[in-house]
């Protein structure tokens, strides 16, 4: 008796499963098709914004990027895909500053994990959804991301120059005062040790 009950029970489960599968098939049969006729529809093909095709540096309307060449993205990349080359430039206040020279990115070894984007402290990177990246040799997959000519830093105004000069003078004066105080302390200590013991 038990085996007859089991037979009908499993038959019922099988029929329910079959009906469920057929309902999904029927639903998909009636759903509008989304197959893309690429490349015939190249002009109209819609690629989701979130699709990660290639790493890019964000440029603003004035043609400037925000990369400060800190190298955090390079250190966080698990594949050695990023290579940052830097250069030293003179600033308006007479100091040296490290700047980005070349941002090299090898699309051929990128796994699109987005660690570089999410760890950049400047929000300087993003992924473009430009998916047409096919080339004939692997070397061509290595791209320089800072592709625009470097813009000159805006010249400081007379007020800013005066402020920088004042800050420099103040630093020099503070350094001199500290050196004088240190020397006086050393002389006082030397005199103390030279005093005859009573
Ligand atoms: S892209 Fe961001 S993390 Fe990478 S070097 Fe530039 S500022 Fe640093
Ligand atoms: S997405 Fe990942 S693998 Fe690609 S460059 Fe960024 S950190 Fe490296």
Q: For ligand 2, is residue 120 a contact (CB within 6 Å)? A: no
In this structure, which ligand is nearest to the CA of 77?
2
Confidence of residue 164 (pLDDT cuts 50, 70, 90): confident
Cβ atoms 50, 125 nearer than 8 A: no
Q: Is the pLDDT of residue 2 over 80?
A: no
Task: Indicate which CATH number applies to the domain containing 113.
Answer: 3.30.70.3270
In this structure, which ligand is nearest to the CA of 145?
1
C-alpha 29 – ligand 2 centre gap (Å)? 39
The pTM of the full predicted model, rounded to 2 decimals, is 0.69
Range of the domain at 60: 54-144
Tell me if 58 is assigned to some domain.
yes
Give the pLDDT confidence score for residue 78 in this predicted structure: 97
DSSP SS3 for 68: coil
C-alpha 130 – ligand 2 centre gap (Å)? 16
Tell me if 162 is assigned to some domain.
no
Number of domains in the chain: 1
Probe target for ligand 2 pocket from 80, 81, 119, with the most ligand atoms within 8 Å of CB: 81
What mean pLDDT do residues 81-88 have? 96
Q: Is the pLDDT of residue 198 over 60?
A: no
Tell me if 167 is assigned to some domain.
no
- In ligand 1, the atom with minimum distance to the C-alpha of 84 is 5
What mean pLDDT do residues 72-99 have? 92
CA torsion 37-38-44-50 (nearest 10°) is: 110
Give the pLDDT confidence score for residue 168 in this predicted structure: 85
In this structure, which ligand is nearest to the CA of 108?
2
């Amino acid at each position: 008796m038990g085996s007859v009950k089991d037979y009908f029970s499993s038959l019922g489960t099988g029929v329910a499963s079959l009906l469920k599968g057929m309902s999904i098939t029927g639903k998909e049969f009636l759903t509008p098709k989304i197959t893309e006729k690429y490349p015939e529809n190249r002009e109209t093909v819609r690629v989701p914004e979130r699709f990660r095709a290639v790493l890019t540096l964000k440029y603003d309307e004035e043609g400037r990027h925000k990369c400060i060449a800190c190298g955090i993205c390079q250190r966080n990349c698990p594949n050695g895909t990023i290579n940052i080359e830097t250069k030293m430039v003179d600033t308006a206040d007479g100091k040296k500053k490290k700047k980005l020279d070349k941002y090299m990115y090898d699309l051929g070894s990128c796994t699109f994990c987005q660690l570089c984007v999410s760890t950049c402290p400047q929000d300087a990177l993003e992924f473009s959804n430009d998916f047409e990246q096919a080339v004939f040799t692997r070397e061509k997959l290595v791209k320089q991301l800072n592709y625009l000519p470097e813009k000159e830093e805006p010249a400081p105004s007379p007020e800013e120059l005066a402020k920088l000069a004042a800050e420099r003078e103040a630093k020099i004066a503070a350094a001199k005062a500290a050196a004088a105080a240190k020397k006086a302390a050393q002389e006082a200590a030397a005199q103390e040790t030279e005093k005859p013991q009573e």
